[in-house]
Amino acid sequence: MPELESSLTSSPAATEAMREALADEVCGVLEARTNGSPRIVRVEVPVPWEVDPVQWVQGQSGGEAAYWSSRTEEAPVATVGAADVVEGGERPVNFDRLHRRLASRLNQTDAPVRYYGGVRFDAAHPGEQDDVAPGWRPFGTYRFVLPRFELRAREDGTTLTCNLVLPRDAARRDVLVEAVHALAPPRRPATGGLPQPFGRTDVPDQEGWTRMIRWVLDAISNRSLDKVVLARRVALELQASLDPFFVMQHLKRATPRCFHFAVRPAKGPTFLGASPERLFRRDGERVLSEAVAGTRKRGETPAADAALRDELMQSPKERREHAFVQEAIREELETLCTAVDAPDTPSDLALARGRHLHSRLTGTLRSRTSAVDLLRALHPTPAVGGVPTDDALDVIHTREPFDRGWYAGPVGWIGADAAEFAVAIRSGLVQGDRLALFSGAGIVDGSDPEREWEEIEQKIGDFASILGLDGHAAATP
């Protein structure tokens, strides 16, 4: 939805009236249900004005927060606080246990509640807590949050919701009412610049990157691998602390037609991004997934843009890379679906700064198939891991000189009979005055180290341009 200056900032009386209405509803529910079996209750009030959820979450105090919007900007939502958290640190993750924990909670309500969160890239790979970089430790192997408060903007109006877990929350009446009254109005739309970077470190540097790719190309030529996705971490030092939701305001403007997400644990940094890639969307028995692989930048003129599009569509290397991804997704969906539809040839997905080969795959799920089953089956696709999957993941663990954390993992939400997840690429981790950017490139037979380096430079350009940093600037010595 368009970013409008909210009436909240100019109508304190209306703001207080809305908070009073929500507090009254919360008190009514808590007084009526002080015992009984566990149950999740949603208390919702209308917001009688248009407001950007990003501006709203930016206006709140620190702590647990999140933001999610789909590629079509359908019903973007911002969240604050946590009514319930399902998290774990074990690797490999026990997906059956994760499903049971989420299902037991979602079965406690008829309301359309959502748990927002995600999973580490290497959740299914054995590992120890010592392997996890400090910045990623607050996120765990997986973390899903039922928000305390949600602000959701839909076509039929904006709503503010408080989620209650009963009977547990009945003893917290005064604390919850105080939290309602502490909800602040949104910030005004972002103007001006962000803190400027004064230092940049590439991990690996270009020499190390070239060595990694040559090692993988040798393995491919020896037929021990077909594809590996190698990633880079670009660490920026800034002149001042960075407000992650200020970044998100700019990021949404710079990267339309993407999934926009931000996840901030209560005592942690903020992971955010603008991903072009859907892992899956589930609506009842229907599932939609996408293969997104193969990349070209946008041309500076219509003629140049058309030429680059044709080059992408006709490139044997890019078509081969895309085919790996589509075939892997199709095979996994066929194990979970009674029928799967996939196109014979890919289309192109045109974004503000680049374009990709793109295929939509749809299916009808078998009975009792859960969103966690889809997570386990579809992640990681060859678009972020490789082929064969296990061998590619071993290469990533042994060759990449940094912890991916949640980068390239699934991020999104799970409800009782619906779910949606993006692949968390084109992303960054904000920690005070430091920003780490992540992006990767698929290495197949015919890949060129220098060209793959430049492809990643183009991919991180959305973030770099927001910060006023040339996306092709040399790494800091």
Q: Tell me the pLDDT of the chain (477 aa) as tens digits.
A: 333 334 444 467 777 888 888 888 888 888 887 677 789 999 999 988 888 899 999 988 889 999 999 988 788 999 999 999 999 999 999 999 999 999 999 998 888 999 999 999 999 888 777 789 999 999 999 999 999 999 999 888 899 999 999 988 988 888 998 988 888 877 776 666 778 888 889 999 999 999 999 999 999 998 889 999 999 999 999 889 999 998 898 888 888 889 999 999 998 999 999 999 999 999 999 999 999 988 888 888 999 989 999 999 999 988 988 998 999 999 999 999 999 999 999 999 988 878 999 999 999 999 999 999 999 999 999 999 999 999 999 999 999 999 999 999 999 999 999 999 999 998 999 999 999 999 998 898 889 999 999 888 877 877 777 766 654 443 433
pLDDT for the residue 49? 80
**C-beta separation of 415 from 114 below 8 A:** yes
pLDDT for the residue 255? 85
pLDDT for the residue 5? 39
Given the residues 64, 150, 252, 277, select the one marked as catalytic.
Answer: 277
pLDDT for the residue 9? 45
Residues of the chain with CATH 3.60.120.10: 7-181, 197-242+277-466
413/423 Cα distance (integer angstroms): 12
218/280 Cα distance (integer angstroms): 33
Closest CA to 263 of 369, 145, 367, 154: 145
β-bridge pairing 434-443 and 427-431? antiparallel
- Stated as kind and residue range, the H or E segment containing 323 is helix 316-336
pLDDT for the residue 34? 65
Q: Which CATH superfamily, name and number, covers 197-242+277-466?
A: Anthranilate synthase (3.60.120.10)
Given the residues 227, 252, 297, 459, select the one marked as catalytic.
Answer: 227
**C-beta separation of 65 from 80 below 8 A:** yes
Q: Cis link prior to 92 (omega < 30° from 0)?
A: yes
Closest CA to 296 of 351, 375, 223: 351
Is-catalytic flag, 227?
yes
Place of tokens 């610049």: 193
If one looks up domain 7-181 in CATH, what number appears?
3.60.120.10
pLDDT for the residue 191? 65
Is-catalytic flag, 5?
no
pLDDT for the residue 373? 97
Q: pTM for the whole thing?
A: 0.92
